[in-house]
Amino acid sequence: APDLAGPAVEQLVDLTRRLLRARNERRLLLPVTFPGAAGRAMKGDGLLPTGRGPRGSQTFDAWLAHHVADTAPAAGRG
């Protein structure tokens, strides 16, 4: 199966921070790094798709703006 990729390279910890901010949630968020070859690949660009394949056009921020109301915690929770 071809690799699916978005229009921008993003870090998971940054996406999570933006999601929490959009939902007005406060959580302790600790970035995690992995040792060894897998960790080096994740830190660099070793896991990014390089061949042909489907590429998304919607940014995470655009998706977030559209879906944040659907993911907001109920009043009094969070």
pLDDT at 72 over 60: no
The answer to whether the pTM exceeds 0.85 is no
Distance in angstroms (rounded) separating the CA atoms of residues 68 and 45: 29
The one-letter amino acid code at 29 reads: L
Q: How far is CA 6 from CA 63, 70, 75, in A?
A: 12, 22, 33
Distance in angstroms (rounded) separating the CA atoms of residues 70 and 31: 26
Number of Cβ within 10 Å of residue 64's Cβ equals 16
How confident is the model over 23-53, as pLDDT tens digits? Answer: 999 999 988 889 998 888 888 888 888 888 8
